[in-house]
Amino acid sequence: MRINLTVFFYLAAPLIIASAAGCSGNAAGLHLVPAKGTITLDGTPLAGADVEFTPENVKVNEDGLGGSSGFANTDDSGHFEMYTASYAGVQPGEYRVRINKISQPEITNPEARVPKGKEMVPPQYNTQSDLIVEIDDDGNTDLNFELKSP
């Protein structure tokens, strides 16, 4: 029996599209939800900061995948959006939040040794962080961290 190639294409294309649509939103197969917010330090938006969500109690999927850290950088307004690997979002669950920003001194002599940068965020928000955030099954888009200097 010989099948016309055009007929085969019209029959196979919807099946291929339907199976692709059923795939997870990312190659890792993780259920990721939005996690966005704003960070201020002493009332001023904290621009150029690194944000890390480290899993404390994260829901893993049926395959046992999960527990990945999320990362972001703040923009000029202190806004951030978390990413897991190169995919927007994080898995639902509980995370420890670490925020840091290194201030690099201005270099006036290009041949001089580059001086060590200074951490701008107090340790209780990074190396000694006790900030914990819970990400809901639908995500959180209003995560606001109001940091205070000691």
Per domain, the residue ranges of the chain are 28-105+116-147
Report the chain's mean pLDDT, rounded to a whole number.
83
- Residue 105: the pLDDT is 78
In CATH terms, the fold of domain 28-105+116-147 is: Immunoglobulin-like (2.60.40)
Separation between Cα atoms, residue 121 and residue 117, nearest integer Å:
12
Q: What own/partner pairs with CB < 8 Å and gap ≥ 24 does 60-67 have?
A: 60/91, 61/29, 61/30, 61/31, 63/29, 65/28, 65/29, 65/30, 66/30, 66/91, 66/93, 67/91
- Residue 60: the pLDDT is 67
First-to-final CA distance of the chain: 81
The pTM (predicted TM-score) of the whole model is 0.74
* pLDDT tens, residue by residue, 100-137: 999 887 777 778 777 788 999 999 999 999 999 999 99
Q: Taking 80 as the threshold, does the pLDDT of residue 98 lie above it?
A: yes
| Alpha helices (runs of H) in the chain, residue ranges in sequence order | 5-21
Report the range of poorest mean pLDDT among 28-32, 53-57, 68-72.
28-32
- Residue 19: the pLDDT is 40
